[in-house]
Amino acid sequence: MRWTPGGQSPDIEDRRSQGRGNLGFGGPGGFGGPFLGGGFGGRRMGIGGLLLLLLLTFLYRHFFEPGPVTPGRYATPSGAASRDIGSGSPDAENREVQFVSFVLDDAQKNWERLLAPTGVAYRHAKLVLFRDYTTSGCGAAQSATGPFYCPADEKVYLDLGFFDELANRMGARGEFAQAYVIAHELGHHVQKLLGIEPKVQRLRQANPAQSNPLSVRLELQADCLAGVWGHSTEQRNLIDQSDIAAGLDAVAAVGDDRIQKMARGYVSPESFTHGSSAERSEWFRRGLDSGDIRTCDTFSK
């Protein structure tokens, strides 16, 4: 991916120095509730959250603690979800921050342009960089849950260590794979600004039996919106076919079917909350090919 290193985005809130020393598994709002069937108004599970939660649950049960796992409280193997302070090159991490800044600013500038004709004013989301643990408007945020968007405070939460997980554990390498993660979470922000997210929240509350299918449609739409931004980068020659392949690898890596197969050896489509690898890839590709938000209507398909 072609990009120019620069300074840190004004829309980044850097809390990396605050992460250590507070590794409790609770926190405001209750860590387990929003992720394990709690209210939709709480934290949205991020693109990598389901994979890491299922994998860590499996590891915890089979290697660390033979007894039952308390919902929402997972033991994280040392170094599995977040870099240790001092590990790796400070210059390399600084470059990652600059890359995140570039993607964040570029994507938000693109959404300002695309939403202007609709009459919807684009309000910038903030991106919080943290290590291990922080708090959000939707409750506790931990590295093991992966990146996520919180509609309550309009912020994306990201531990840079997730990019290592994306490459090494999920097999999705390359900068555009990382960019997809950020673009997907910003897609959730666009959904809130357009009124889609709160409408889906009301529908889920009114009809709990449709909670998972509605969640899948919301996530697939965020994938498509990420592709819409990707289209703009392709038009400006910021990405090539190898970058697109890396992005599609990232999309497929977080499909519910692939995650469930890896974590427990079988697939339960009725429990999907994000969509299969094929569905996620299809909708990301729709946005990427069209660059048109109108192609991202997952709710009438």
Asked whether 101 and 7 are in contact (CB, 8 A), the reply is: yes
pLDDT, position 44: 53
pLDDT, position 18: 84
Q: Checking DSSP bridges between strand 148-150 and strand 155-158, what pairing results, if any?
A: antiparallel
pLDDT, position 51: 52
**Average pLDDT, integer, range 84-112:** 84
The set of residues, in sequence order, having a beta carbon less than 8 Å from that of 1 and lying 6+ positions away, is: 174, 175, 176, 179, 233, 238, 239, 243
What range defines the domain where residue 190 resides?
Answer: 12-296
How many domains would you assign to the chain?
Answer: 1
Q: Does any domain span residue 4?
A: no
**Average pLDDT, integer, range 97-115:** 97
Q: Does any domain span residue 236?
A: yes
- What would the pLDDT profile of 249-267 be if each residue is shown by its tens digit? 999 999 999 999 988 999 9
Would you give the distance in Å from CA 280 to the centre of its chain? 13
Q: Does any domain span residue 109?
A: yes
Q: DSSP for the chain?
A: ---------TTEEE-GGGSTT---S--TT-SHHHHTT--TTSPPP-TTHHHHHHHHHHHIIIII-SSPPPTT--PPPTTSSSPPTT-S-HHHHHHHHHHHHHHHHHHHHHHHHHHGGGTPPP-PPEEEE-SSEEEETTEEEEGGG--EEETTTTEEEE-THHHHHHHHTS---SHHHHHHHHHHHHHHHHHHHTTHHHHHHHHHHH-GGGHHHHHHHHHHHHHHHHHHHHHHHHHTTS--HHHHHHHHHHHHHT-HHHHHHHHHSS--GGG-SS--HHHHHHHHHHHHHH--GGGG-TT--
For residues 122 and 109, give the distance between their C-alpha atoms in angstroms, rounded to a whole number: 9
Q: Does any domain span residue 45?
A: yes
**Average pLDDT, integer, range 7-36:** 59
Lowest mean pLDDT segment, chosen from 44-48, 116-120, 279-283: 44-48
For residues 291 and 294, give the distance between their C-alpha atoms in angstroms, rounded to a whole number: 9
> What percent of the chain clears pLDDT 70, i.e. is strictly above it?
76
Q: Does any domain span residue 5?
A: no
For residues 34 and 44, give the distance between their C-alpha atoms in angstroms, rounded to a whole number: 7
Q: Does any domain span residue 75?
A: yes
**Average pLDDT, integer, range 76-88:** 41
For residues 225 and 290, give the distance between their C-alpha atoms in angstroms, rounded to a whole number: 10
pLDDT, position 6: 82
Predicted TM-score of the model (pTM): 0.80
Q: Does any domain span residue 133?
A: yes
pLDDT, position 61: 33
- What would the pLDDT profile of 158-205 be if each residue is shown by its tens digit? 999 999 988 888 888 889 999 999 999 999 999 999 999 999 999 999
pLDDT, position 21: 47
Q: Does any domain span residue 203?
A: yes
- Phi and psi angles of residue 47, each rounded to the nearest 5 degrees, phi first: -60, -35
